[in-house]
């Protein structure tokens, strides 16, 4: 426990000057700051406004994970959206039902943004601003029961059929692992909100959240300049550096097969991750691969009809397997048994395409005794698990534990 508290103290003192906490406490906003590099992703700072509205003391909050604010009717899909944003090191904004210390539920706008180191582009902290959704918005909170049902027991059915679970289960590969949590918070002015009716923040509340984030980033930037360890609100694009989070790259690094991951939400679908086996197969280095489209492996004798099949697969968002002539860095060619497949995020939208490469001249199935087809599928499944480690079982387990706690109260 003492070592954890020391890490939390060092989380701020090692990067910001001495008076950063006082400056942050002068801000009127309700927010927390968490450190993803510390085990459990704990809260390392909580503003006075946050402590007042949630009913906790600072000692009760610092060092805790944000799950202490979740409750039986917190929407699990919203939780997954936040977890996805943490893994992908990006901003997220959701309407969220959470609970105060006294157990009172209330609706709030949760806006979270990462803070990046200018030295290496890594995430140093996450800022989470919580804006209460005003009671006057309650008239817009009701309506579609099919939406509110995900907050109750019927969530079991929704979870069983949601797309993010289908993609994990489809490969038959499930792995329990570390899941990064988040840090939602509450407001003391919404105690009467009907928890069965999802509420939505208005544009004024959304602008308040963005303004608060900018104020906090401004303070952190200023006090980091005084130590020479600068931070900023946007990730610097260092050439040859993967834009994926460190936890994701570590998980992907355990996969031994040759594969690349491309980002469908960026123009020209650049490669954002390539395995060590891919570098060995093609002869290229990381600096020569990341940020480029996979077409650089094609050459003069590459069949254009095969390239068309790949493009069609991407367009229709379906997997495909082709035999394509590719070229290494030294100019030598090889027949690549290529399999590509879409990777979906928690909301069911395609976030990446994974491409698995196998040199046809390596006819041996290897020590695992698997065929090329099975090795393709196994690799795709492993990539999905690495990106969304154990999401299916862990979320079911969390929900089951909540129901068990209620049953034994």
Phi, psi (rounded to 5 degrees) for 221: -60, -45
Question: 95-112 as b/e, with b when 16 or more CB fall inside 10 Å?
Answer: bbbbbbeeebbbbbbbbb
Residue 259 and residue 275 in contact, taking contact as beta carbons nearer than 8 Å: yes
Quote the pLDDT of residue 191. 41
- At 114 the three-state DSSP class reads strand
Tokens encoding 145: 């029961």
Quote the pLDDT of residue 242. 57
CATH topology of domain 246-387: Beta-Lactamase (3.30.450)
- Asked, colleague to colleague, whether 2-236 and 246-387 share their fold, the answer is yes
Q: Can you give the residue ranges of every domain in the chain?
A: 2-236, 246-387
Q: DSSP characters for 38-72? A: STT--EEEE-HHHHHHH---HHHHTT--GGGG--T
Neighbours of 371 (CB within 10 A): 10
CATH superfamily of 2-236: PAS domain (3.30.450.20)
Beta bridge partners of 127: 33, 113
**How many residues in the chain?**
409
Q: Classify residue 243 by its DSSP letter.
A: S
Best CA proximity match to 294, nearest among 305, 304, 307: 307
Pairing of strands 231-232, 92-99: unpaired
pTM of the model: 0.51
Give the separation between CA 82 and CA 91, rounded to whole angstroms: 9
Give the separation between CA 247 and CA 181, rounded to whole angstroms: 13
Strands (E), 36-163: 43-46, 92-99, 105-117, 123-132
Alpha helices in 162-245 (DSSP H): 163-169, 203-225
Quote the pLDDT of residue 47. 94
Quote the pLDDT of residue 188. 37
Mean pLDDT by 10 residues, the chain (409 residues): 74 87 92 90 93 92 88 88 87 91 91 88 91 66 42 37 37 35 39 57 92 93 89 66 66 88 87 92 89 90 93 92 94 94 84 92 59 84 76 45 56
Phi, psi (rounded to 5 degrees) for 167: -70, -30
């Amino acid at each position: 426990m003492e070592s954890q508290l020391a890490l939390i103290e060092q989380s701020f003192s090692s990067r910001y000057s001495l008076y950063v906490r006082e400056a942050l406490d002068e801000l009127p906003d309700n927010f927390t700051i968490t450190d993803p590099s510390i085990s459990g992703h704990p809260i390392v700072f909580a503003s006075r406004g946050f402590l007042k509205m949630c009913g906790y003391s600072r000692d009760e909050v610092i060092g805790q994970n944000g799950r202490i604010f979740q409750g039986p009717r917190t929407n699990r899909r919203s939780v997954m959206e936040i977890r996805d944003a943490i893994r992908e090191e990006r901003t997220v904004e959701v309407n969220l039902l959470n609970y105060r210390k006294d157990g009172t539920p209330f609706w709030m706008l949760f806006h979270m943004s990462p803070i990046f180191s200018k030295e290496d582009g890594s995430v140093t902290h996450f800022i989470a601003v919580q804006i209460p959704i005003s009671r006057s918005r309650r008239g817009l909170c009701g309506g579609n029961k099919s939406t509110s049902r995900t907050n109750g027991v019927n969530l079991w059915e929704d979870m069983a059929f949601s797309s993010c679970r289908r993609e994990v289960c489809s490969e038959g590969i499930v792995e329990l692992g570390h899941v990064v949590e988040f840090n939602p918070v509450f407001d003391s002015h919404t105690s009467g909100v009907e928890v069965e009716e999802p509420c939505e923040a208005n544009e004024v509340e959304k602008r308040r959240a963005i303004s608060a984030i900018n104020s906090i980033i401004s303070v952190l930037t200023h006090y980091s300049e005084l130590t020479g360890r600068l931070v900023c609100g946007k990730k610097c694009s260092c050439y040859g550096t993967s834009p994926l989070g460190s936890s994701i790259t570590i998980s992907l690094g355990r996969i031994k097969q040759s594969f690349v991951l491309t980002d469908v939400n960026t123009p020209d679908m650049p490669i954002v991750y390539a395995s060590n086996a891919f570098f060995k197969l093609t002869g290229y280095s990381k600096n020569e691969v990341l940020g480029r489209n996979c077409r650089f492996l094609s050459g003069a004798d590459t069949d254009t009809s095969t390239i068309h099949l790949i493009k069609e697969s991407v367009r229709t968002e379906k997997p495909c397997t082709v035999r394509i002539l590719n070229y290494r860095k030294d100019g030598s060619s090889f027949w690549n048994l290529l399999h590509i497949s879409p990777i979906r995020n928690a909301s069911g939208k395609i976030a990446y395409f994974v491409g698995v490469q196998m040199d046809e001249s390596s006819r041996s199935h290897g020590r695992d005794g698997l065929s090329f087809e099975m090795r393709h599928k196994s690799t795709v499944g492993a990539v999905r698990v690495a990106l969304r480690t154990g999401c299916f079982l862990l979320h079911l387990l969390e929900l089951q534990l909540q129901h068990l706690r209620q049953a034994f109260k």
